[in-house]
Amino acid sequence: MTDKIAIKGIREGILATLTPHQAWLPLVDDLTQYIDQRGTFFRGARLVVDVSERAVDVENLTALKNALASRQVELVAVLSQNEITSSAAHELQLFTRLSEIPLPVRETRYPEHDDEMLVEDEDEDLEEDEEDVLPPMDSEEYGTVGVLVKRTLRSGRTIRSNGHVVVVGDVNNGAEIVATGDIIVWGKLRGIVHAGANGDENAIVCALDLAPTQLRIASHIAVPPDEDRKRKPNPEMAQVKNGQIEAVPWLSS
């Protein structure tokens, strides 16, 4: 993000590494302002903060924890080589090592029958926060063509699939797609997507206009800069290469 704060995705959540060369309070202000600017990206996230050798007492850690909680961000761990900081973290029941943090478990419920492979839902009276739970599928099974969603996903809608997901329509800001396989959007992608959710780094995300709020492939997270959402739209494909997510032109083959 800057030379003061570095943000990256890890298996345990999101890691924020804070420079030891700036005063604490301005640094916390920079972090909370960045979270505010990213909108829904951090909402509901588990945050691990690495403060290096900095000494942070209970009062300052409590203030940070409360500031994050007010933004729906959970502070789960504080990493430090300083005994004062580690002691304060333990007093607040925060983890101090990555190995101590339990990995997040996301429960996915599927219908009893698995023969529904096409979803067409144009009912505009559905609740905004209703979750669409799609049937399970084996992405390697012969003849499996994936799950097709023929509508625009509005804010608050969630699609989860144990396989690939294809959306014919837009994915608006505030909508979310989680798939163990690939995610293809035949339209504008503005929401949150997680392809290869079971750890498949070969999964891809494609869209005619690729400008998501958050993009994840396996355990990798990309935070597109704000200017990306203002540029001229071009079909792009996001993939993991050399340990990070990169976007390349999505060309027909």
Whether residue 112 is contained in a domain is answered as no
- Higher-pLDDT residue of 230 and 12 is 12
Residue 212 shares a structural domain with residue 156: yes
* Count of structural domains within the chain: 2
Residue 158 shares a structural domain with residue 239: yes
pLDDT at residue 162, rounded to an integer: 78
Residue 67 shares a structural domain with residue 134: no
- The yes-or-no verdict on residue 153 having pLDDT over 60 is yes
Beta bridge partners of 238: 205, 247
Residue 86 shares a structural domain with residue 192: no
- The yes-or-no verdict on residue 165 having pLDDT over 50 is yes
Strand order in the sheet with 158-161: 131-133, 158-161, 176-179, 192-195, 214-217, 220-222
* C-alpha span between 246 and 187 (Å, rounded): 19
Contact 168, 149 (CB under 8 A): yes
Residue 90 shares a structural domain with residue 143: no
- The yes-or-no verdict on residue 128 having pLDDT over 80 is no
Q: Which burial class, exposed, middle or buried, applies to 49 when counting CB atoms under 10 A from its CB (0-12, 13-18, 19+)? A: buried
Average pLDDT over residues 142-153: 70
Half-sphere exposure of 53 (CA within 13 A, CB side): 1
| CATH number for position 61 | 3.30.750
Whether residue 39 is contained in a domain is answered as yes
Helix axes 58-69, 24-37, angle to 10 degrees: 10
Whether residue 165 is contained in a domain is answered as yes
171-227: pLDDT as tens digits: 999 899 988 889 999 999 999 999 998 888 999 999 999 999 899 999 888 877 666
How wide is the angle at C-alpha 194 spanned by C-alphas 193 and 195, nearest 5°?
115
Output the six-digit token pair for 225. 């800069």
Residue 126 shares a structural domain with residue 240: yes
74-109: pLDDT as tens digits: 999 999 999 999 999 999 999 999 888 886 544 333
CA quadruple 243, 248, 250, 251: dihedral sign: negative
pLDDT at residue 122, rounded to an integer: 38
Pick the last residue of a domain from 40, 70, 100.
100
Residue 69 shares a structural domain with residue 123: no
- The yes-or-no verdict on residue 238 having pLDDT over 70 is yes
Whether residue 210 is contained in a domain is answered as yes
Average pLDDT over residues 26-36: 92
Whether residue 111 is contained in a domain is answered as no
DSSP type of residue 111: -
| CATH number for position 141 | 2.160.20.70
Residue 214 shares a structural domain with residue 94: no
pLDDT range class, residue 252, cuts 50, 70, 90: low
Whether residue 110 is contained in a domain is answered as no
Residue 133 shares a structural domain with residue 206: yes
40-77: pLDDT as tens digits: 677 778 899 999 999 999 999 999 999 999 998 999 99
Residue 192 shares a structural domain with residue 123: yes
Residue 89 shares a structural domain with residue 177: no
Whether residue 209 is contained in a domain is answered as yes
Whether residue 27 is contained in a domain is answered as yes
Pick the last residue of a domain from 45, 74, 100.
100
Residue 131 shares a structural domain with residue 63: no
Q: What domain range includes position 239?
A: 118-249
- The yes-or-no verdict on residue 132 having pLDDT over 50 is no
pLDDT range class, residue 1, cuts 50, 70, 90: low
Pick the last residue of a domain from 47, 74, 100.
100
